[in-house]
Amino acid sequence: MARAYDTAYRTIKHWIQEGEIPPGGLIDENETARKLETSRTPVREALLRLQSEGFIEIARGKGIRVLPLSSADMREIYQVISGLEVVAVSLLARKRPSSEEVEPLFRATREMEEALARQDVNGWGKADETFHRELLRLSGNRKLYEVGCQMRDFVLRAHMVALRLQTDEYRQRSTANHAELIIAILTRNSQTVADAHFAQRLRGEDALIAVVEKFKVASL
């Protein structure tokens, strides 16, 4: 039963994050159980967990609805993520890591560059996501990593939409900023690199929210 629950949770969450169930869309418990070839019990438990995490709303008489995010919601979540990332950067720089220790960051940046070269926006977004999750992990703070990933999971669908609306120039500039951050972590003191990253996070946040508002995307 535990395996069926885990599968149901991961699969439904993936459908939501990938937009296979759109914001405001309804989830049919019976149909979902049929798709997953399982009973309703693990599906119901998975849905209750997703509701507790803010992905869906289970309303009596109204069904199970995927909750949309507004641009204001996105800004608030980005601010939380930025706070966690600034601490992560400071912790990582304080450890004075070697180039080998931050290889996951170099690899993610190379994947971003390769995706740019083939004009693969989705591939670029996935590599960008990997970079930020690795940054949290490399901080060495397990709780920070767990909470940061939870926040990134929550905003992933909306974040990917915002990235797709951005220009190639934005993605090129962002890729360069990621590469510069790695070098800063390796060569600068923790406070300096943390301050610089915070400023960069603010610029990135403003750019992503602005493009959502420009295209009048009411919810994501």
CB 22 within 8 A of CB 66: yes
**Residue 64 main-chain phi, psi, to 5 deg:** -110, 115
Domain closes at, from 38, 66, 94: 66
Structural domain range at position 198: 71-214
Residues 57, 77: one domain?
no
112 — pLDDT class (breaks 50, 70, 90): very high
Q: What is the pLDDT of residues 135-151, one digit of tens each?
A: 999 999 999 999 999 99
45 — pLDDT class (breaks 50, 70, 90): very high
- In the block, tokens 């966690």 appear at 84
72 — pLDDT class (breaks 50, 70, 90): very high
Per the structure, how many domains does the chain have? Answer: 2
Domain closes at, from 14, 35, 66: 66
pTM: 0.92
Q: Which of 95, 97, 115 is nearest to 107 (CA)?
A: 115
Residues 128, 199: one domain?
yes
